[in-house]
Amino acid sequence: MTYLLLKFLHISAAAFFIGGVFFEVMILSHVARQLETGPREQLSRALGQRARQVMHWVVLVLYGAGLGLAWQHRAALHAPFASSFGTLLSLKILLALSILCHFLGVAYLLRTGRMTPARSRLIHVSVLVQMIAILFLAKGLFLLAW
């Protein structure tokens, strides 16, 4: 797979993922509070089911393409503190792994029935903040140097 195709897949999946989380945190969570309990729960179930179907594929493409891109930059990752690019890329990868752990944690909490609205909101906000940091790091990879 060419570098350009990997980059396109990675950026597209990142846009879908970030857009989905942004929509949920900044729009849906506030609108849902205005609904009665029954419709809110029905909406939550329906959206949750659809989001899990779609997001599994988005996450698979995002991390798969990310692995392919990381492989292209393995020399920089071999000595991450030898260059600003290697350092920023390493930080970006660490945040991406943290988000993956959040994603796996959500799956675990849902399967064990321990997901609460407060936990869900906290996880979503945490993931959104980390995604924004990843965006800055991704841009900084090619713009910052020390």
Which pLDDT belongs to residue 80?
A: 95
> For residue 58, what are its two tokens?
């988005």
| Residue 145 is assigned to a structural domain of this protein | no
CA dihedral 133, 139, 143, 146 (to 10 degrees): 30
Q: Which of 28-32, 82-86, 115-119 has the highest mean pLDDT?
A: 82-86
Q: Does a structural domain hold residue 87?
A: yes
* Whole-angstrom distance, CA of residue 113 vs CA of residue 73: 40
Q: Which structural domain range is residue 58 located in?
A: 3-140
- Of residues 135 and 103, the one with the higher pLDDT is 135
What is the pLDDT, as a whole number, of residue 52? 81
pLDDT at 103 over 90: no
In a domain, 135, yes or no: yes
Tell me, yes or no, if the pTM score tops 0.85.
Answer: yes
Dig out the tokens for 8 from the structure: 């396109």
Average pLDDT of span 33-50: 88
Residues 6+ apart with CB under 8 A from 77: 70, 86, 89, 90, 93
pLDDT of residue 139: 95
Q: Give a yes or no: residue 105 inside a domain.
A: yes
Q: Would you say residue 117 lies in a domain? A: yes
* pLDDT of residue 1 exceeding 80: no
Using CA atoms, how far apart are residues 8 and 128, in angstroms rounded to an integer?
21
What are the distances in angstroms from CA 30 to CA 25, 51, 135? 8, 18, 25
pLDDT in tens, 113-140: 999 989 999 999 999 999 999 999 999 9
pLDDT at 66: 97
Q: How many domains does the chain have?
A: 1
In a domain, 146, yes or no: no
**Does 124 map to a domain?**
yes
Would residue 103 count as lying in a domain? yes
